[in-house]
């Protein structure tokens, strides 16, 4: 297992190399032995999905688990079903935004993705293959319940908003178009189908992968463009003028729209949220969806939030996970309610600038020795000012370290990210 990336965000690897059928079977067997309960499973549209699904099912059945299989389904829909049905454990087979040759087993416990402590407990069960009786598979389609519950939190109807949607041929194509059309949107689909069993674009919904959608927004008569990653927990937004907005803009628009409440986000998210909500109403956690989900479950009253880096939003009263589908529906609600163009709504947000660098082979311990005044949160190193920050974050999904900065001006943001990056590259 040493060549797999195993974190609370999942067990990730290149299919056939670091993530093999035998390893998948062994992991599922260990998870089933640890869970001792019903396990919900589902997957995205990657062509390696059916193969890994068979191995996961076999491993769970070997441990006598009742397997609730929802098939190809967006991650937010799977998690909504898990919580609605009261199932305590789950395995989502999805490489999310990673390149096509990757896939992952996202392991879930009662509240959210498994913790570091739970991952260690599961590892202790690896290699223990004793058979238990009682296993069974039940097939279940959770989409109608998800859609029904979503519309108790999204009010807009008959919007006639013109939307382009790039699902990247991911699992979001089975949910997001249906929901937008129910809201009265006129939906044009882009990159919605696999081509010769290959994705029409790289799964990560970033500028360099969305040229077709961006060009369509520039040349066509559309109000807003949306793009998902492979499992639809992420959302990218393209404006009516063809501008692709930074990842946290959608979350900022929803935050401003929702107004009062307690807002939960992570240490790498924008300072814009304190400005929109007031510092006393913002709680920050370490980076990682699990941290937010656990914190939100502890709080009472109106609670919402999300991680700025993904574009998804978390509304625990509906779905205590990052949800790019729900975020898209909320953006449509905002456009319908305000009667403004999305470019105007974005221009009315407080202005911050962010810069990022992705580095390999960074020694975080050595980097910390070069910093005089920093805060360590989980695995992150953070340096803060009055209206700026810069941090080094070891990725939970890739063998890289992300250097992230934010400031009031672009020049300051660039200066900060280049300063910390220069220190980081000398630690290799």
Contact of 312 with 235, CB cutoff 8 Å: yes
Nearest-angstrom CA–CA distance, 282 and 292: 12
> Which residues are part of the catalytic machinery?
96
Residue 417: exposure state from Cβ atoms within 10 A (0-12, 13-18, ≥19): buried
Distances 48 to 2, 20, 80, 243, 320 between C-alpha atoms, Å: 21, 10, 24, 34, 28
Nearest-angstrom CA–CA distance, 45 and 144: 19
Tokens in use for 48? Answer: 């390696």
The pairing of strands 136-139 and 262-266 is unpaired
Residues in Cβ contact with 130 at an 8 Å cutoff, skipping those fewer than 6 apart: none
Measured in residues, the chain has a length of 428
Q: Where are the alpha helices (DSSP H) in 184-271?
A: 211-219, 249-258
Closest CA to 220 of 248, 249, 240, 196: 240
Contact of 38 with 89, CB cutoff 8 Å: yes
Return the residue matching tokens 């008569």.
Answer: 221
Return the residue matching tokens 């006598």.
Answer: 64
Nearest-angstrom CA–CA distance, 337 and 154: 11
Nearest-angstrom CA–CA distance, 4 and 12: 6
Contact of 217 with 202, CB cutoff 8 Å: no
From the CA atom positions of the chain, what is the Rg in Å? Answer: 21
Contact of 312 with 306, CB cutoff 8 Å: yes
């Amino acid at each position: 297992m040493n060549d797999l990336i195993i974190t609370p965000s999942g067990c990730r690897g290149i299919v056939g190399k670091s993530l093999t059928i035998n390893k998948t079977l062994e992991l599922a067997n260990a998870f089933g032995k640890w869970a001792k309960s019903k396990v919900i499973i589902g997957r995205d549209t990657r062509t390696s999905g059916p193969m890994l699904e068979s191995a996961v099912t076999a491993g769970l059945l070997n441990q006598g688990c009742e397997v609730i299989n929802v098939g190809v389904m967006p991650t937010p829909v799977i998690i909504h079903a898990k919580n609605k049905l009261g199932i305590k454990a789950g395995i989502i087979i999805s490489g999310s935004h990673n390149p096509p040759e990757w896939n992952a087993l996202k392991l879930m416990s009662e509240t959210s993705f498994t913790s570091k402590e739970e991952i260690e407990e599961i590892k202790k069960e690896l290699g223990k293959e004793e058979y238990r009786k009682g296993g069974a598979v039940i097939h279940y389609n959770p989409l109608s319940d998800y859609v029904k519950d979503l519309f108790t939190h999204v009010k807009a109807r008959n919007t006639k908003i013109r939307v382009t949607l790039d699902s990247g041929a991911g699992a979001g194509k089975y949910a997001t178009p249906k929901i937008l059309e129910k809201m009265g949107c006129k939906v044009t689909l882009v990159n919605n189908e696999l081509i010769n069993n290959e994705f029409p674009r790289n799964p990560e919904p970033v500028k360099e992968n969305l040229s077709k959608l961006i060009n369509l927004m520039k040349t066509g008569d559309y109000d807003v463009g949306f793009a998902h990653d492979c499992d639809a927990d992420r959302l990218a937004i393209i404006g009516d003028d063809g501008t692709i907005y930074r990842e946290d803009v959608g979350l900022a628009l929803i935050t401003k729209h929702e107004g009062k409440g307690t807002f939960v986000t992570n240490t790498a998210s924008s300072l814009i949220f304190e400005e929109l909500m007031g510092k006393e109403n913002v709680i920050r956690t370490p980076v990682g969806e699990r941290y937010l989900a656990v914190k939100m479950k502890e709080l009472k009253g109106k609670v919402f939030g999300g991680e700025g880096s993904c574009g998804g939003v978390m509304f625990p009263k509906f779905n205590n996970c990052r949800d790019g589908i729900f975020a898209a529906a909320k953006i449509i609600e905002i456009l319908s309610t305000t009667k403004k163009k999305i470019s105007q709504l974005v221009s009315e947000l407080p202005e911050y600038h962010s810069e990022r660098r992705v580095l390999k082979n960074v020694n975080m311990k050595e980097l910390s020795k070069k910093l005089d005044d920093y805060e360590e949160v989980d695995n992150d190193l953070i340096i803060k000012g009055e209206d700026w920050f810069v941090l080094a974050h070891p990725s939970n999904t890739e063998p890289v370290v992300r250097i992230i900065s934010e400031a009031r001006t672009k020049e300051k943001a660039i200066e900060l990210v280049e300063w910390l990056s220069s220190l980081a590259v000398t630690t290799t």
